[in-house]
């Protein structure tokens, strides 16, 4: 449509330029782009920017928190001897797609290692940990079950190991934040901290964040 045709149309509609600009700004804030989750079929939405009319977006895991489908767990272990371990068990049920976006151990001693295993076998799952929905107003609960101090008979297949670097009494943190892990359905996983120093770790703090469809 040419400029002349646009002006003629505006005249016929009896709309001035200011009115048209206001309408465009209003429409832009109501623009939605639908992005479908291939696993669940759910749609997420992004609003349009009122200044340049382009779609607005946030990180996918951020959107999952807004949807009430992002979860976190924290736990503090105490007095982990030199050469000792602290274990976290993840039980992912059938039909559930848990996306592990971050897991982290922080220790008062260093060095140490943090290893993720798949196909863990155990005789006792340990103590259940409280899973917090990151959207605090949401009543949605997680399907992934997280426990600490399980009785493990076989760690399973090693997927990755991170190092907690630092000096003996300084400590440090090992974390995974960039590349997520999409867990297998009906599978068990172990996240294990090992105190590789020659001193007792007074405190070892664990945190994890994940989202579900």
- Verify that 106 and 145 share a domain, yes or no: yes
Q: Are 71 and 133 in contact (CB under 8 A)?
A: yes
pLDDT of 156 strictly over 80: yes
Q: Which of 21, 42, 65 is the last residue of a domain?
A: 65
pLDDT tens-digit map of 176-201: 445 789 999 999 999 999 999 999 99
Q: What is residue 124's predicted lDDT score, i.e. its pLDDT?
A: 98
For residues 171 and 203, state if they share a domain. yes
**pLDDT grade for 210, boundaries at 50, 70 and 90:** very high
Mean pLDDT calculated for residue range 155-170 = 80
Q: What number of CA atoms fall less than 13 Å from residue 88's CA on the CB side?
A: 25
The last residue of one of the domains, among 29, 48, 65, is 65
Confidence at residue 61, expressed as pLDDT on a 0 to 100 scale: 84
Residues 93 and 54 in one domain: no
Full domain range(s) for residue 93: 69-211
Q: Report which of residues 172 and 139 the model is more confident about.
A: 139
Q: Would you say 55 and 152 are in contact if contact means Cβ atoms under 8 Å apart?
A: no
Domain shared by 83 and 61, yes or no: no
Separation of alpha carbons 121 and 109, rounded Å: 29
Q: What is the 3-state secondary structure (H, E, C) of 5-69?
A: HHHHHHHHHCCCHHHHHHHHHHHHCCCEEEEECCCCCCEEEEEECCCCCCECCCCHHHHHHHCCC
48 has pLDDT over 60 = no
**pLDDT band for position 55 (50/70/90)?**
low
Cβ pair 164, 172 in contact under 8 A = yes
Q: What is the pLDDT of residue 180?
A: 87
Q: Answer yes or no: do 121 and 84 share one domain.
A: yes
pLDDT at 209 over 50: yes
Q: Quick one: 46 and 115 in the same domain?
A: no
Domain match, 41 and 86 both: no
Residue ending a domain, choose from 16, 35, 65: 65
- Do residues 185 and 103 both lie within one domain? yes
**What is the number of domains present in the chain?**
2
Q: What is the pLDDT of residues 97-139, one digit of tens each?
A: 999 998 888 888 888 999 999 999 999 999 999 999 999 999 9
Q: Please indicate, yes or no, whether residues 108 and 176 belong to a single structural domain of this protein.
A: yes
| Distance of alpha carbon 80 from alpha carbon 108, whole angstroms | 10
Structure tokens at 10: 């505006």
Task: Give the pLDDT confidence of 70-100 residue by residue, as tens digits.
Answer: 999 999 999 999 999 999 999 999 999 999 9
Query: What is the rounded distance in angstroms from the CA atom of residue 143 to the CA atom of residue 211?
Result: 10
Q: Quick one: average pLDDT of 156-178?
A: 69
Is there a single domain that holds both residue 87 and residue 58?
no
pLDDT class of 167 with cuts at 50, 70, 90: low
End-to-end CA distance of the chain: 44
CATH, residue 145: 2.60.120.510
The set of residues, in sequence order, having a beta carbon less than 8 Å from that of 163 and lying 6+ positions away, is 111, 112, 113, 114, 174
pLDDT digits (tens, 9 = 90+) for 5-43: 666 665 666 656 666 666 555 544 444 555 555 556 666
Same domain, 46 and 99: no
Judge if 195 and 94 occupy the same domain.
yes
Distances (CA, A) of 127 to 48, 102, 154: 46, 21, 18
- For residue 110, what pLDDT is reported? 85
């Amino acid at each position: 449509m040419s400029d002349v045709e646009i002006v003629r149309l505006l005249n016929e509609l009896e709309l001035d330029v200011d009115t048209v600009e206001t309408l465009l700004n209003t429409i832009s804030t109501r623009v939605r782009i639908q992005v479908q989750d291939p696993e669940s079929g759910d749609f997420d939405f992004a609003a349009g920017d009122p200044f340049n009319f382009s779609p607005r977006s946030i990180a996918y895991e951020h959107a999952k928190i807004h949807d009430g489908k992002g979860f976190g767990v924290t736990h503090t272990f105490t007095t982990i001897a030199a050469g000792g371990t602290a274990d976290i068990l993840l039980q992912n049920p059938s039909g559930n797609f848990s996306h592990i976006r971050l897991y982290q151990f922080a220790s008062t001693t260093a060095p140490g290692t943090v290893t993720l295993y798949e196909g863990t076998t155990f005789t006792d799952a340990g103590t259940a940990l409280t899973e917090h929905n990151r959207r605090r107003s949401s009543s949605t609960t997680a399907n992934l079950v997280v426990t600490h101090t399980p009785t493990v008979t076989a760690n399973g297949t090693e997927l990755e190991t991170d190092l907690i670097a630092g000096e003996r009494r300084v400590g440090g943190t090992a974390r995974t934040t960039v590349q997520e892990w999409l867990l297998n359905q009906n599978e068990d996983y172990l996240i294990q901290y090992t105190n590789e120093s020659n001193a007792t770790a007074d405190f070892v703090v664990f945190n994890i964040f994940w989202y579900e469809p």
